Amino acid sequence: MKKLYYTIGEVSKQTGVEPHILRYWESLFRELNPSKNRAGKRVYKESDIETVHLLKDLIQKNKYSTAGARKALDRMKKEPDTQQASTEIPDAVRQDLKEARNLLEDLLQKI
């Protein structure tokens, strides 16, 4: 069941990003701005969790620096039709995939 708000511990478990990293990213990226409850504890919404997943992909999976991730987020804002930066495919890889697809289509026709 989805909740309206999540604690930093819940977000950490769900995303695999340590709480101290979440707090650090919060200081660097204005897109990650969880609210605070009356007790002063961070409360994350689903949109905040999506931002954490995006940052994790950019920084940990795709090895972007924090400055590079900042630029990628800015680019995504300017081009809302663009999917996440992690889905960008280099031209050489795209060409290899096209050739593999053609080969598989040829094999399929021979069956």
Confidence of residue 14 (pLDDT cuts 50, 70, 90): very high
Q: Is the pLDDT of residue 82 over 60?
A: no
Fold classified for 8-110: Multidrug-efflux Transporter Regulator; Chain: A; Domain 2 (1.10.1660)
Environment class of residue 84 by beta-carbon count within 10 Å: exposed (0-12), middle (13-18) or buried (19+)? Answer: middle
Q: Is the pLDDT of residue 83 over 60?
A: no
User: What is the average pLDDT across 11-39?
Assistant: 95
Residues 7/69/97/80 CA torsion (nearest 10 deg): 80
Number of Cβ atoms within 10 Å of the Cβ of 22? 22
Threshold 0.95, pTM exceeds: no
Q: Is the pLDDT of residue 105 over 90?
A: no
Confidence of residue 2 (pLDDT cuts 50, 70, 90): confident
